Amino acid sequence: MTPNFRRHLETLDRCAALLQSPLLLLIRLYWGWSFAQTGWGKLTHLERTAEFFGSLGLPAPKLNALAAGATECVGGALLALGLFARPAALPLIFTMLVAYATADREALQAILRDPEQFTGAAPFLFLLASVLVLAFGPGRWSLDHLRARRPPP
Q: Which residues in the chain show pLDDT less than 70?
A: none
Between CA 63 and CA 66 the distance in angstroms is 5
Question: What is the structure's pLDDT at 40?
Answer: 98
Which stretches of 18-120 are DSSP H helices?
Answer: 20-44, 46-55, 61-81, 85-102, 105-109, 115-120
What pLDDT, on the 0 to 100 scale, is given for residue 153? 74
Going from the C-alpha of 149 to that of each of 17, 19, 29, 77, 152, the distances in angstroms are: 20, 21, 21, 22, 9
pLDDT for the residue 80 = 98
Tell me the pLDDT tens digit for each residue of 84-104: 999 999 999 999 999 999 999
Torsion sign over Cα 147, 148, 150, 152? positive
